[in-house]
Amino acid sequence: MPRTHNRKSRKTFSLSREVVSYLETVRKQTKRESMSSVLEDIIRQQQQAKEMERVSAAFSRYYDSMSAEERTEDQAWGQFAEAQFPTQE
């Protein structure tokens, strides 16, 4: 069975000394092997945050578009669903 590798592209970036120092500090604190992995994690976290913002905005648009009647019905279903779970004491 052929192996699939997470291929990486080598790129060169110019960063300020402060940014390089920060990446090096984070690398040491997290005991990572490379600053590239630290930078990749920071970028992934940013991507996840942007995706969460997008999803949150989509939910807001959905609920903002509902009529008062639809909101009342949705709330009633929510209350019904909550009543189906046993209370924790």
Q: Give per-residue burial for 8-45: e unless 16+ CB within 10 Å, then b.
A: eeeeeeeeeeeeeeebeeebeeeeeeebeebbeeeeee
Q: What is the mean pLDDT of each run of 10 residues along the chain (89 residues)?
A: 72 94 96 94 97 96 93 93 83
d(CA 46, CA 13): 18
Q: What is the pLDDT of residue 87?
A: 78
Show the tokens assigned to 8.
């990486």
- Contact by Cβ (8 Å): 27, 38: yes
pLDDT at 7: 86
| Spatial contact of 35 and 23, defined as CB atoms under 8 Å apart | yes
